[in-house]
Chains A and B, each alone.
Chain A
Amino acid sequence: MTRQQVLDLYFMDARCKLIELAAFLDRVERASGESDFRHEALVKALEHLSLNEPSRAKQVLLSLSDPTSEPIAAAPGKGACGAWPGATPSAP
């Protein structure tokens, strides 16, 4: 596809998701109480959007991933929350 074709197909969808993301960050900021590692991880992952090469999706995923390599002793639960809490987990 040409860049024009990609824009024709996906610009409105991307614009919609961008505004949703902006509104979400505003909503978190307006809300009361403490935030947690998920907010921080999302803000940090945003940095990868300004990369100058087409690996932004991969870099965002890597940035939200557990970077360690050793299996853990026991499962803290069954679910995943989408961001790595760090070596000392504080479950959401």
Chain B
Amino acid sequence: MRYIEPHAHMVSRTTDDYEAMVTAGCAAVCEPAFWAGFDRGSVHGFRDYFCQLTDYEPKRAARFQLPHYSWLCINPKESEDMGLAREVLQIIPEFLKRPSVLGIGEIGLNKNTRNELTILQEHVDLAATHNQLILVHTPHLEDKLKGTRLILDLLKSDSRIHPSRVIIDHVEEHTVEMVLDAGFWAGITLYPESKATPARAIDMVEQAGMRNIWLNCACDWGRSEPLAVPRTALEMRRRGHSPEAIDHLVYGNPLRFLSQNPRFQLA
């Protein structure tokens, strides 16, 4: 089988994980900018991180012939400090020129605060100004419903934003319909505890249809599983889905969304 991993925080993973992913059929990996697990102290920390995402990490993946792409932003977990967030927003354009950058992400909300919303709006402005694809993180657990509604309201009210160029990630049963109904792409994240399991992800796909949905593992430094997408493909086989349908979901769909940026090329 072949698949694309459209959301993985590989800077937090070992080289063994790269090897396992490629062995399982991974054809490309995309890495949105994320929170480090602690607040970075200054804009210099972000500059180093963006260099890591756009220079070092593609080289590490290339050792396994795996194309590596990235998305840039300051994560909503760090946007309560609006001064720092704005400094980071200022350095992003110089990195947008780098050949493996696909767009702005993962932006969004964490605790649904006013400051987070302001910085989200400023990221959306940046994406609109530079005609970038957008990858949106929706909040965790009890905050997801409210955050998804706030994010959709903000994006739908902006005429510069085309929903077909935005993926709203980490949807669950209570948010998937509102995202797809508004014309956006939806991402389902496979996690051991929070977010979705393989079985629930397939349930959602079976009900919503798989037109504009992708699956991702969103593996990072927390409890997560780099092979969650191929494992879910296996689960689909057990349910009797055809190899063509599985390929459509785990390879064709991310390829279709990501190819809206012509930089996205498979090896």
Q: Which residues of A contact B (CB under 8 A)?
A: 1, 5, 9-10, 13, 55, 57-58, 61-62, 64-69, 71-84
Contact = CB atoms under 8 A, between A and B. Distances in A.
Nearest to A73: B114
Contact of B239 (A9, A72, A73): A9
Interface string B131-151: 000000001111111100110
8 contacts: A1-B239, A61-B145, A61-B173, A61-B174, A66-B142, A71-B116, A71-B150, A82-B142
Contacts of A55: 173
Nearest to A6: B239
Chain B interface size, under 10 / 10 to 19 / 20 to 34 / 35 or more? 20 to 34
Contacts of B199: 10, 13
Contact of B173 (A9, A58, A79): A58
Given A1-B239, A75-B110, A78-B110, A65 B116 contact: no
By secondary structure, the B interface counts as: helix
Contacts of B35: 78
B173 A64 contact: no
Nearest to B241: A1
A23 B172 CA distance: 26
